[in-house]
Amino acid sequence: MPLLDVQNLTTAFQTQRGEITAVEDISFSLEPGEILGIVGESGSGKSVTALTIMGLLPRPPARIAGGSIRFEGTELTTLSQSRMQGIRGPGIAMVFQEPMTSLNPVFSIGDQLMETIRAHERLPPKALFARAVEMLDRVGIPSASTRMKDYPHQLSGGQRQRVMLAMALVCRPRLLIADEPTTALDVTIQAQILDLILDLRDEFGMAVMIITHNMGVVAETADRVMVMYAGRVVEEAPVTTLFDRPLHPYTRGLLECVPSLTEEMDRLVAIPGTLPEPARRPQGCRFAPRCRYAEPACRAGLPPLESYDPGHSAACIRVPELTRP
Amino acid sequence: MGAILLRRLASAVPILAIVSILTFGMIHLIPGDPAAAIAGLSATPEQIANIRRDLGLDQPLMSQLIHWYGNLFQGDLGRSLLLGQPVVEATMQRLPVTVALSAYALVITLVIGLVTGIVAALRQNTWIDQVAMILAMIGISLPNFYLGLLMIILFAVQLRWLPTGGYVAFTDDPLGWLATSTMPAISLALLLAGLLARITRSTMLEVLRQDYIRTARAKGLPSRKVVVKHALANAMIPITTVIGIIVSLLISGSVVTETLFSIPGIGQLLTQAVLNRDYPMVQGGLLITTALLVLVNIAVDVCYALLDPRVRYDGA
């Protein structure tokens, strides 16, 4: 049984111009200890997917319009708020993109760490404190026991993200969702945080869902990759396969956007055009307007996600002809 | 913490210096002869001369100023012309009445304002929110003297539940104090509760949108704890500013309310002093009220430091 099994999930938002779907008919699963990378441009539905799994979207305006999310066999889409609270933390934990604003400015980091433990476990105060210190120490906060009473404004961005990780992992979750965990950080700190996530995965044996728009982050961390575009999955593959043999033109575009150090390049490559607004998505394949291989058939209907190799699928009707040797 | 308190107290010194010099100068702002103005139209030249001598108005300005500060530092603000008793004594007799009434009104304001605002924010865009905000708007729009009159007609004249006015000290008879203070306190509080409810609502909505609220929910905290601990602790920082303003408004609002309900507080004392041209009383009353308001502001600043660690560390 997979740890997390998402089937045909659709998340919709009520807006003044009617209902729009941010995430449409996406399916994927995660095995224990596995690292899944979800990539795509801003607005492709990556974060909404994560927040839907966490049950953190305000309803209304958000609504799960269809599909199921099973975590360790428990259906999350219909779970009561109070039982969902029991899953957030020890079951699924999350770290966010903005370490500068994700910690509460008026409480000490020790307080915020200990209240997380207290929400899920009964521990005597001394053990509670020791556990929080141990976790801070583990994520690389120097002299952790004296820093427990520090407030977020006394920490740097990288340290705050370490504290966020400590808070997420202090209840030993089976799944960690990391939503752009390094985007807001300096490049040197980014690598440290990614390494830390990998180390912690090895130590705690948790599965990780890492959301990013950075192909480099995916290459460094993920076992498997899911590429999203305009709310839909366009390609899914093991990480090496995806980099060696991308099938979908959008994935190829994303990979071409990564500057190469070995090849001579005159200028940076970009995918022409922009992601369509949810309310103004084109008929048929949503990537067609930006795709250099698009033909009339692409605009006729949504391309289904087809499997081409074991574990490798793409949603493009032209894959067979484009990949012919 | 102590450093912040000391610094705020020090900042009060120039304010009080400016206010004391303005109050001193106030008597000289009267057009023409202050002594004649104080004595009134029917006064004889001897009476005017007496007043001039009593108030030291026949002395050079500089020696009047030295005299004023000399007395001020000894806690002597002169003698009320109307009551014949020292200004400080008269003020100190009335002050507890106003403070008790203001405190009562403040409690009502805080309970109604904060609860309404928080509930409206949590039920944003539902009928509960809309009803709460309409009530708040009515509270803000009703002048407090009008509300006071309506309450007197209903509860005192028609239903005869409460006296129309008067005052019983809390220390003499707590129930009597409650009976005489409730209507004045409500009429003072309702406007301010409406104001506080609206500000609490918008502040809470702002705070509930913050990333750290999402983090608190992502940790699996119960929603009650997310709202009461994480959201409210942050929302209280801007709300405290408003509460400081509300306290000032309560004290100045007491002028009308105390007159309406015949309550012998500072407001009534100052109103009578103004109407009777009792200048020493007006000067002293203003100075003491100002000092009180400065203290309120210092208290607000200290509350800031208590609520917000960023202020605490920058200030230390």
Give the model confidence (pLDDT) of B173-194 as tens digits.
Answer: 888 888 888 888 888 888 899 9
pLDDT of residue B316: 45
Cβ contacts below 8 Å, chain A against chain B, sum to: 82
Q: Is A211 left (phi over 0), alpha (psi -120 to 50) or beta?
A: beta
Compare CB distances from A106 to B215, B225, B307 and report the shortest one's residue: B307
Q: How far apart are CA B299 and CA B297, in angstroms?
A: 5
pLDDT category at B314 given cuts 50, 70, 90 is low
What's the mean pLDDT when you consider all of chain B? 85
Query: Cβ of A185: how many Cβ atoms within 10 Å?
Result: 22
pLDDT of residue B38: 75
Q: Which residues contact B156 (CB under 8 A, 6 or more apart)?
A: B162, B163, B164, B183
Burial status of residue A240 (CB atoms within 10 A of its CB: 0-12, 13-18, 19 or more): exposed
Q: Are strands A224-229 and A35-39 parallel, antiparallel or unpaired?
A: parallel
CB contacts of B220 in chain A (<8 Å) are: 85-90, 116, 119-120, 171
Q: Is the pLDDT of residue B197 over 90?
A: yes
CB contacts of B309 in chain A (<8 Å) are: 105-106, 108, 151, 153
Compare CB distances from B211 to A81, A102, A153 and report the shortest one's residue: A102
Residue A308, SS3 per DSSP: strand
Q: Residue A88 forms beta bridges with which residues?
A: A92
Instruction: Give A102→chain B minimum CA distance, Å.
Output: 4
pLDDT single digits (tens) A302-324:
888 888 888 888 888 887 777 76
pLDDT of residue A325: 62
Q: Is the pLDDT of residue B61 over 70?
A: yes
pLDDT single digits (tens) A159-203:
888 899 889 888 888 899 988 888 777 778 788 888 888 888 888
pLDDT of residue A38: 92
Q: Is the pLDDT of residue B109 over 90?
A: yes
**Percent of residues, chain B, with pLDDT higher than 90:** 16
| pLDDT, average across residues B265-276 | 87
Choice among B90-94, B147-151, B244-248 with the minimum mean pLDDT: B147-151
**What length is written for chain B?**
316
Q: Does the beta-carbon distance from B214 to A115 stay under 8 Å?
A: no
What is the mean pLDDT for each group of 10 consecutive residues in chain A (325 residues)?
87 84 88 89 86 85 85 85 86 87 90 90 88 86 87 87 88 88 79 84 88 85 89 88 85 78 66 78 82 81 83 83 71
Q: How far apart are CA A46 and CA A67, in angstroms?
A: 16
pLDDT category at B198 given cuts 50, 70, 90 is very high
Does A101 contact chain B (CB < 8 Å)?
yes
pLDDT category at B267 given cuts 50, 70, 90 is confident
Q: Does the beta-carbon distance from B211 to A101 stay under 8 Å?
A: yes
pLDDT of residue A36: 92
ipTM: 0.85
Q: Residue A92 forms beta bridges with which residues?
A: A88, A175
**Percent of residues, chain B, with pLDDT higher than 70:** 98
Residue A45, SS3 per DSSP: coil
Alpha carbon distances (Å) from A41 to A25, A243, B7, B57:
18, 17, 51, 81
Strand order across the A232-238 sheet: A92-95, A175-179, A207-212, A35-39, A224-229, A232-238, A312-314, A306-309
Compare CB distances from A89 to B211, B219, B237 and report the shortest one's residue: B219
pLDDT of residue A240: 87
Residue A270 is encoded by which pair of tokens? 């970009």
pLDDT of residue A263: 65
Q: How far apart are CA B216 and CA B154, in angstroms?
A: 48
Residue B117, SS3 per DSSP: helix
- Which residue of chain A is at minimal alpha-carbon distance from B215? A102
Q: Is the pLDDT of residue B114 over 90?
A: yes
pLDDT of residue A82: 85
pLDDT of residue A265: 61
pLDDT category at B195 given cuts 50, 70, 90 is very high
pLDDT of residue A264: 66
